A and B are shown apart, each in its own frame.
Chain A
Amino acid sequence: MPCERKPMRYGHSEGHTEVCFDDTGRFIVTCGNDGDVRIWESLDDDDPKFITVGEKAYSLALKNGKLVTASSNNTVQIHTFPDGDPDGILTRFTTNATHVTFNSIGSRVAAGSSDFMVKVVEVSDSSQQKTLRGHEAPVLSVTFDPKDDFLASASCDGSVVVWNIEEQTQVISWPLLQKSNDVTNAKSLCRLAWQPGMGKFLAVPVETKVHLYERGSWDHVSTLSDDLLTQPINVVSWSPCGRFLAAGSVGGLLTVWDVNSKLCVERQKHEKGFTVCSLAWHPSGSQIAYTDTEGCLGLLDGLGTSTQVAAKKPAKDYDDLFDDDDDRLMDEGLSDTKSPAKKAVGWDDDDDDFLVPATGRVKNRGAFLDDENSLDTGSLKLGQDKFGDNNDDAGSSVAPAAPPVAPLRPVYEGPMPTPPQKAFQPGSSPAHLTHRFMMWNFVGIVRGYNDEQDNAIDVEFHDTAVHHAMHLTNSLGHTMADLSQEGVLLACPSTEELASKLQCLHFSSWDTNKEWMVDLPKGEDARALCLGQGWAAVATSTLMIRLFSIGGVQRELFSLPGPVVCMAGHGEQLLVVYHRATGFDGEQALGVQLLQFSRKKRQLISGEPLPLSQKSYLSWLGFTAEGTPCYVDSNGMVRMLNRSLGNTWTPVCNTRETCKSKSDHYWVVGVHENPQQLRCIPCKGSRYPPTLPRPAVAILPFKLPLCQTTTEKGQMEEQFWRSVLFHNHYSFLSSSGYEIDEDAQNLSQKEQQELLMKMFALSCKLEREFRCVELAEMMTQNVVTLAIRYASRSRRMALAQRLSEIALEKSNQMQEEEQEEPEYSSTRRTSSGQPRVTNILDNMMSSKKSAQLSSSGGKPSKSPVLKPLAPKPKTKVPCAESVFKQGSISRCLCAFRPKTGFQLWLEENRKSILADNPDLEETDVIKEAMGRFRTLSTEERLPSTCKDSLKFYVGVHNLQFS
């Protein structure tokens, strides 16, 4: 029975709330703690008619245009329905009535009260009253026998009593419930319900089960239960056809049983888990309205069509009802396929209902077989149906052995997809806040205000030298902002009339026009934006990224493989994170692209997955002040790009470790590599800081999550690798043509070497000589000399011997570099200079660079520390050793003097050239080889044997020349 749970809506103020349908099913009528009866035309009715019946309304019943309510003035009153005119008082109690109900034909009203009494009153003549005394505690609920002979009531004294109305005596009493002293303290409201029609069963909710008692014998014939029901059932209600029983429980579980099969055919959970305190079936049986103790009204719609069918003939005898019903249900099951043919069958069936049931049945079978192949509701059910038919024929009608089982909705238990996280601006608080940060970054703060008085944006700069603070009225409704030293970029989503707009306040412009605006094409919404140096980027809902110059010239645009999550810009780099796929079980599947718009536009990271902590999402994305990409996930893990390890991401800090409480967070606003600072705002009990009082920035240190950082060794290792990682930006900056602070770089190198030396000393102390050698390989030559001295002083001659080998190797390498550099560069210049397209910009750049190089040219030779810690080519070790034995460094240099790239290549390829042209002279061979060599790319030129070492040279070369 697939049904749709409509969203809950506010009905009354919180407290006990009751609901019923009017006779036609047109209106839903509710009463609640606010003393009003509301008449809803539908669940979406935003302006329901209301009748005020008292200060509080405890219960209501509606039949034949009469609305009976129990209100706080201890009366049971009648109002006309739907007009709501008062129509007199039916009866009074000494305290308030707790439950009122009509009999099946609407001639009598029964009311139970907190003064232990139950009264039965004729609606037409309120003087004709019958009082049923005998309960020893407030009455919880009352229900009429459909044949009007009996009345059942439940009370706080724990008893459920069946009364003979005429004789006003107890027929039977069951001690079923937990005792309590008042209705408000009762575990369950215990709303009884008598099966409509013949009144065969009385349903009594007892704890988590529903007991069915048979009329007449008063035997407990069966129990309805469900494993999911763990809290007491508050209320039960029969479907109009009398076949289904709905129950609402404390904790908000709604369950529908098929009484014949005793199987649960429908389960729904209240969306907030509030206690269901009343429920009512629509007269057609297709809807259930329910209310909770918080005053909300809900509706289950589209309850299985079977109930509708069953409801069509309430007048029919039971045996027939069930018998036919099975067939009908089969048909109904088939009609799930929704083929037009099936509908036709359904129609036929309706017509046939009373006239020729037999033929209808045959027809049904035929249809059923025809459609066997197209069935998708499960052949299992099919078999059951067939089986059921046989049984029916045998004539067991009271409880058909195999009733049609409406299958529960298939429950999927595999990994669930995670809702993809929405696009956001890093450094902003959520857009729904009235006062929020639209951006907090290195440059300044953009605050957005959106309340009744004002819709404005404040821009404030950390450094007032950049620009004075600005106040803008936000008439366009901008929701996104970014701020740089050059301008403010704002964007608003599209509205019905207006397109999504991009506005840039280019305050650093030297002309008088400090502002430009661009409308995005219709149907395209800005999702994320960022500013770089001289450019702006906006990612849109059409999976596109549009680039603009800061002055407003449209530049490149390109498509993203998925919806954007956020963007960040720095200098000439653009970092984009987007949804790569759907994540499962709380994970996000994000991809990242890093682009560089410098002279040589290129993609440094092309759509690789972005590693996040488990079950977390991205919460901040940006660059360090030095230009290294960096991001933070919702678990507080800060990760930084390690350019020297193939653009991998290294975790550098876990902000949650420093949080005092679980709900505290750090809101990251910036990352600096030199000095190593993570700038963030501590937020007590939230993820975002409030705009007032103005939050203060705190600084967190970085810490690589290395093992055993409590030991001295672990600490030094952590320091060393952190230092290495946080000084990667020097090589990146110099390689992309920025000037770098050489002093700071040398300082950092010195620091690293000092740490290595300390670790060396520690390993020495611990007698770990192998480890010493490993460390020495990371050292520079001068430091290795120190290490040798240290080793020999601590009388470790074997170690000193090995170290001196390393030292020699390192000195060789250095000299090779020095000699290699000019040679190699000259060959490259000549070989690569020609085919290159030279434009003006190119020349400017290269001249600038060579100038830069010459200015700092003296340094590399003087300070060998500049050399990066690269793996040394292992093949050279034996050579170095042999040379060491001869003891002549100069000879070693001669022997080792490396050949130019061309010579090496020629050696390797001479044979093939000779094979191709066997009659060439030596000079011709070289000419031919020259020709071939020129056509090759740099990579291919490297002879295989020397590829490793040459790659290294190329690396060094690029480092210093590009």
Chain B
Amino acid sequence: MTLHMEKGGISISARRFLWKLSYLQRKCIFSVLSVGRLPTHISFIMDGNRRYGEQRNLKEGAGHKAGYLALMLMVIYCCELGIKYITAYAFSIDNFKRGPDKVQYIMDLMLEKIELELSKKDSLFSRYGVKVHFSGNMELLSDPIKDAAKRLMVATANNSNTLLTVCFAYTSRNEILHAIQETCQEKLAQIQLQESISEGRISMCNPGQGNHVLKLADIEKHMYMAIAPDPDIIIRTSGENRLSNFLLWQSANSCLISFSQLWPGISCWHLVWAVLNFQRNHYYLEKKKKKQI
């Protein structure tokens, strides 16, 4: 593994030794954490990549590359801890408002990284049993990225240890509207089928009188994030305290944690702290979840 240690002067064997040492350290820490209840689903708002690059006077886009490495490390840590679902907010529909060259850079980076993972025989995803899923309005993306994303989803479809959902071209409002649209079209198809069978009148009920045609459960099953349970923890970096149109529907009982660290600087210790905070509040949040059901 050479993700983090790209500086010259360290031999490969030394890197391997340091990695193994850090692995043993994590194993000890995670053994202690595992005494308590572990979260099933952790989400990340990966904020701060640009600022990371600007603060270190790196060239344009280097912050996002560092952010990608941080995500891969976080996936490894979560897999080692036994987290079943990981969600990362990679690109918001609102981010299309940025300059075209900045948007194109992120698209090119995403394409490059997907192609890199697909080309490796022993990729991180296959080694850790990670199934990758892309959530979002993929129609807003160019064909090469859509195609690459589909190929990565197919390539990792048989992995079953952890599901990594990458929210790309995603916002919660778009997700809700999309789910309503899909539900409407499904319901319309049912009505048209019934009409053709009965050759009679379509019965349409006034929604204001309590007999709804569309049910909440119908809408929820069409959400992009229906493939995973609601997140237990949502972690945001860069010290911001908002969700920025991310998992608004699913986060009613999520423990919201904010770190002042920029995303590329996130470490295993932040994850440990987040899990400890989740464990502190676990009984309270479980009670809330049960009341909702």
A and B from one complex: no
Q: B interface vs A, CB < 8 Å?
A: none
Q: A interface vs B, CB < 8 Å?
A: none
